[in-house]
């Protein structure tokens, strides 16, 4: 049973993304027949191997000794229904066998943070009443082309088991999974009450697969496609939603880069009275947007698609609709995004809703500060603000660009085109700022950027409630980082990317050790850290000594020797995710973490100083750790040098679908 106890631990994720409400699932009936050992008996009347045969008489004494435990289990099951935190449920399952059993019976959401950490069959055997599945596949480096696209993470084996085990399944959330049209067809045909499908950074399927979902899932409430690659199969999937009133509440397809049947979309929106979220792709013009808004004034979240006229309308010289009136009619609108291929002349149309907006995303908009100011000055309730077009950046210092869900936080995301002066204005105005992301306009290392330590220090002095920051810049000083550590004591996430390798303190020429040391020493709530610039082993010594809550650490072009990594692995007991590239850490550093790897989600090391023999030693010492060596196309398998190492814990051992460029060491 010990291995089963760790099934959910293998998939434990960052609690900043809240789990789905377990209370949405049906509560188990307390009028349940049980045998004398406390095991539930199936409805057909069959019993487990531990039940007492009918021919054996049960004395009153025996019955009375078992009955109190049975009552306690039933009470416990009903209490656990209200325990929603994954970590809390994991802890409850480890108390004793009866708690382990009760927790499994009451868990309605299955979260698997690594699809290879546990097999579908093991998950099915452990949890019997799942209604919602969250499944993650490839490591996040796949987003930055640092992993071959055919590495794995196939949804096929999972959907086959889900179809047989959970016919009442309602929700599926997949991230970085490889999905086929056949997978979506099986999903659509297997669950009669299926309601929500969210695909994030997935690939492998096309509009044919979407057609299965649209036509078969008659109770569908959510279809969200986010940063997902969808092949154009020339299938009109939008028109295949069932006729009559639908249950749709959210429809997001802004990443689908192919034309859609707008007439069918308009009819779908018109017969979806519960629709609240709608994000359109770039093939929907502002004139078509107007028609949709007239049909659905109840929208709360709107992605505008192409915020400009169509070429046909421009050629014909048609009279423009009253866009201002359409926006004014949407009294519930609190979130605006999209604005692809924006025509600035149309920006004034959104003025009527600005006063009510809590979220505004201009990530795809190419507008000037003068065009932006009239919008912002009316957004008095704004909590989330994204502006500029994010570049494709080296993965070393940031995770996903998109924030999928943010609760009770205020965000500003900006390109560095706002300059230090812009950040000073933010600091003077946004006193409630919780999260700041500043991306570079030009991702080249040798280009001087307009943001620096001046902007960072201004933010630290003006936004003292800051909890998370991602900051790209070309220069930085220890003094500015130390100031942030002193002023922003609530920091939980600090990711500083000094673009360019081994760049020191801009003012003194010293390493950036003291700045990062101050961050881990003063920010006691820090759970995520990304380091860059010129760093010696001293910086890693500070991290190991003070970073006791750090769960995720990203390192690039840093360190002096193996001692740097050793400090971290021996000093950070809660470390779950460790990603390192282009750093001087070798086999000795890798061996220093033998005591901790079973407690980690994964370790990724690329372009370091690892050898095949050193990785082999880890694999032999830790048989339940999967050690994958990933080669480049031109690299021979016999080479002793390891280009990329990906290690993760698994109850199942090595996977069986590894491609040829992946060698799993044993």
Is the predicted pLDDT of residue 111 greater than 80, yes or no?
yes
Distance CA 500, CA 539 (A): 18
CA-CA-CA-CA dihedral for 228, 233, 238, 242, to nearest 10: -110
More confident residue, 634 or 86: 86
| Region of poorest pLDDT, from 73-77, 122-126, 585-589 | 73-77
Q: Which band of pLDDT confidence, cut at 50, 70 and 90, is reported for residue 449?
A: low
Flag whether pLDDT at 141 surpasses 80: no
> 51 pLDDT exceeds 50?
no
Half-sphere exposure for 519 (CA within 13 Å, toward CB)? 30
Per-residue confidence band for 25, with pLDDT thresholds at 50, 70 and 90:
very low
Q: Please, what sign has the CA dihedral across residues 638, 639, 643, 644?
A: positive
This prediction's pTM = 0.80
pLDDT at 143: 79
Average pLDDT over residues 250-266: 95
Pairing of strands 277-279, 301-303: parallel
pLDDT value at residue 34: 32
| pLDDT on residue 390 | 33
> Taking residues 88-113, what's their average pLDDT?
87
What per-residue confidence (pLDDT) applies to 158? Answer: 97
Q: What is d(CA 302, CA 333) in angstroms, rounded to the nearest whole number? A: 7
Higher pLDDT, 482 or 501: 482
Is residue 585 within 8 A of residue 562, CB to CB? The reply is yes
Strand, coil or helix: 660: coil
pLDDT of residue 634: 63
DSSP for 6-44 reads TTTGGG---TTSPPPPGGGSPPPPS---B-TTSPBPPTT
Which residues contact residue 289 at a Cβ distance below 8 angstroms, ignoring those fewer than 6 apart? 280, 304, 305, 307
H or E segment and range at residue 649: strand 644-649
Give yes or no for a contact between 545 and 564, defined as CB atoms under 8 angstroms apart: no
Say whether pLDDT at 15 is over 90: no
CA–CA dist 259, 236 (Å, integer):
9
Cβ atoms 391, 368 nearer than 8 A: no
Q: How confident is the model at residue 310 (pLDDT cuts 50, 70, 90)?
A: low
| pLDDT for the residue numbered 315 | 52
Q: What is the pLDDT of residue 501?
A: 87
Q: Which of 87-91, 480-484, 511-515, 571-575 has the lowest mean pLDDT?
A: 87-91
CA–CA distance, 26 with 539 (Å, rounded to integer): 51
Task: Decide if pLDDT at 26 tops 70.
Answer: no
| Mean pLDDT of the 60-75 span | 55
Report the percent of the chain where pLDDT is more than 70. Answer: 79
Rounded Cα–Cα distance for residues 103 and 97 (Å) = 10
Q: What is the share, in percent, of the chain residues with pLDDT greater than 90? A: 56
Which of 221-235, 609-623, 639-653 has the weakest average pLDDT?
639-653
Across the range 44-69, mean pLDDT stands at: 39
Do 33 and 120 form a contact (C-beta atoms < 8 A)?
no
**For residue 148, what pLDDT is reported?**
83
> Does residue 637 surpass a pLDDT of 70?
no
Q: Please, is 116 exposed, middle or buried when counting C-beta atoms within 10 Å of its C-beta (0-12, 13-18, 19+)?
A: buried
Q: How confident is the model at residue 455 (pLDDT cuts 50, 70, 90)?
A: confident
Q: Which helix (H) or strand (E) holds 326?
A: helix 323-329
- Highest mean pLDDT: which of 141-145, 546-550, 629-633? 546-550
The string of pLDDT tens digits covering residues 143-174 is: 777 788 789 999 999 999 999 999 999 999 99
Mean pLDDT of the chain: 81
Is the pLDDT at 482 greater than 80, yes or no?
A: yes
């Amino acid at each position: 049973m010990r291995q089963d106890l760790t099934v959910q631990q293998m998939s434990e994720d960052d609690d900043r993304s809240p789990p789905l409400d377990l209370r949405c699932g049906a509560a188990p009936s307390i009028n349940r027949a049980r045998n004398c050992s406390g095991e539930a008996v199936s409805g057909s009347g069959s019993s487990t191997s531990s039940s007492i045969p009918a021919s054996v008489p049960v004395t009153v004494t025996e019955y009375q000794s078992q009955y109190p435990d049975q009552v306690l289990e039933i009470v416990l099951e009903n209490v656990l229904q209200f325990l929603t935190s994954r970590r809390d449920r994991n802890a409850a399952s480890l108390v004793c066998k009866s708690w382990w059993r009760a927790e499994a019976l009451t868990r309605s959401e299955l979260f698997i943070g690594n699809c290879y950490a546990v097999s579908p069959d093991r998950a099915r055997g452990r949890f019997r009443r799942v209604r919602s599945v969250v499944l993650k596949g490839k490591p996040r480096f796949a987003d930055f082309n640092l992993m071959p696209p055919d590495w794995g993470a196939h949804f096929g084996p999972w959907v086959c088991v889900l179809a047989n085990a959970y016919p009442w399944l309602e929700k599926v959330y997949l991230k970085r999974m490889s999905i086929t049209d056949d997978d979506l067809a099986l999903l659509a045909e297997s669950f009669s009450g299926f309601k929500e499908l969210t695909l994030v950074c997935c690939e492998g399927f096309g509009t044919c697969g979407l057609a299965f979902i649209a036509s078969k899932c008659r109770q569908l409430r959510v279809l969200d496609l986010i940063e997902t690659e969808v092949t154009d199969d020339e299938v009109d999937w939008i028109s295949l939603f069932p006729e009559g009133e639908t249950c749709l509440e959210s429809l997001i397809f802004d990443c689908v880069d192919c034309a859609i049947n707008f007439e069918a979309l308009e009819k779908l929106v018109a017969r979806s009275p519960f629709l609240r979220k709608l994000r359109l792709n770039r093939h929907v013009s502002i004139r078509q947007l107007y028609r949709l808004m007239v049909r659905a004034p109840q929208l709360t979240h709107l992605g505008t698609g192409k915020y400009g006229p169509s070429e046909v309308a421009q050629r014909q010289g048609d009279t423009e609709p009253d866009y201002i009136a359409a926006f004014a009619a949407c009294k519930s609108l609190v979130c605006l995004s999209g604005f692809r291929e924006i025509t600035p002349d149309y920006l004034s149309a959104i003025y009527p809703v600005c006063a009510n907006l809590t979220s505004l995303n201009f990530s795809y908009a190419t507008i000037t500060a003068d065009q932006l100011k009239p919008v912002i000055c009316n957004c008095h309730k704004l909590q989330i603000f994204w502006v500029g077009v994010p570049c494709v950046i080296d993965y070393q210092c940031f995770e996903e660009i998109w924030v999928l869900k943010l609760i009770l936080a205020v965000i500003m995301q900006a390109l560095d085109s706002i300059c230090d002066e812009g950040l000073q204005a933010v600091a003077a105005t946004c006193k409630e700022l919780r999260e700041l992301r500043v991306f570079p306009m030009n991702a080249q290392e040798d280009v001087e950027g307009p943001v620096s330590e001046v902007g960072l220090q201004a933010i630290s002095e003006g936004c003292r409630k800051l909890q998370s920051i991602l900051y790209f810049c070309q220069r930085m000083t220890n003094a500015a980082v130390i100031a942030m550590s002193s002023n922003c004591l609530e920091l939980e996430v600090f990711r500083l990317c000094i673009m360019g390798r081994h760049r020191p303190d801009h003012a003194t020429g010293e390493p950036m050790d003291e700045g990062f040391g101050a961050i881990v020493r003063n920010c006691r709530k820090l759970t995520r850290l990304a380091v860059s610039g010129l760093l010696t082993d001293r910086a890693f010594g500070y991290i190991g000594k003070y970073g006791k809550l750090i769960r995720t650490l990203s390192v690039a072009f840093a360190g002096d020797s193996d001692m740097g990594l050793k400090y971290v692995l021996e000093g950070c007991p809660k470390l779950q995710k460790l990603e390192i590239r282009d750093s001087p850490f070798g086999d000795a550093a890798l061996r220093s973490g033998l005591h901790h790897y079973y407690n980690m989600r994964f370790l990724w090391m690329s372009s370091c100083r690892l050898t095949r023999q050193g990785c082999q030693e880890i694999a032999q010492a830790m048989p339940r750790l999967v050690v994958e060596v990933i080669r480049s196309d031109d690299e021979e398998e016999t080479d002793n040098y390891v280009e990329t190492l990906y290690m993760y814990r698994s109850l199942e051992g090595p996977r069986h679908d590894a491609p040829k460029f992946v060698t799993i060491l044993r």
